[in-house]
Structure 1
Amino acid sequence: MEQPPDALPKDKTSGNQRRKLPTPRELVSHYESQGLDSQEASVKVIEDLQNALFRVISSGRGRKDKFMAETSRKIDATNSRLAVLDMKVDSKPGYGETFAIGVASGVTFKGIGTIMPHVLGALCQIWNSVRSSTKSSP
């Protein structure tokens, strides 16, 4: 008589107690011994294996899962940084716009350079008149 999956033999591997995995034939014969026919036993074995596989995948345990989660997080962070850089580059002016900004700032600087001597001269005259009016008063 086959052993049920709960009472499977254990192997000693590097001091740890581990269950020996049953073969598919052992699982089918176990379910047949419980009264299921061959097809129902096969379906039950497939369901059990799918559930076990789903539990292993969804458990999130193991170095590989942690590595994949960390790698996924790093890729997401890099992707978001690249998206921000792409938005910044797209918001910068092109060559034509840069040239127009340069011409406009050059004309503004030239205009300020032309007007400044007149403004500074007027301020100096105001300063001199205020200074002379305060000195001449005894």
Structure 2
Amino acid sequence: MLALGAALISAPAHADPCEDIAKQLAGQIDGLKVNFTAANITYLTHPAARELSLGCRGKDYSTELYAKTDRKIKPEFLNLVGSATALIFTLPKDDVMTGTTRCLKRMGLLRGDKITMRYKRLNLECTRTRTEASITVRRSANE
């Protein structure tokens, strides 16, 4: 019994991979802070975004980034989303910037207020209302 107890005590604790990714993001993106984690979602804050969260292991996805800002999208927001997506999904930042910017810029009179597209094995969903615009970037569970 004593040996079993000692083995359990000395076993390393396994950190949540979502929290590890959030800490890595906070360390590499200026102004990004980790708030708290609840139900596999880590909430983050940044001056360029109204809302920012990182979700891990949902029913249909393995990792998800959600970001919301004002309806008039600023370059700081595009840079934040591109940098975070590149770090989370380990893709080149230039490629990710192209995909996220394309999704956010397509919203308008001709295409509507909800755009769904696929780019570099990522599912991008951009929506906007009268006052805000948001983007959800996710990779499906089977990829």
Same fold at TM > 0.5: no
Identify the TM-score tier after normalising by the shorter chain. under 0.3
TM-score (norm 1): 0.26
Larger RCO, structures 1/2 (Cα 8 Å, 6+ apart): 2
TM-score (norm 2): 0.25
- Structure having the higher helix fraction is 1
- Structure having the higher strand fraction is 2
Which structure's CA Rg is the greater one? 1
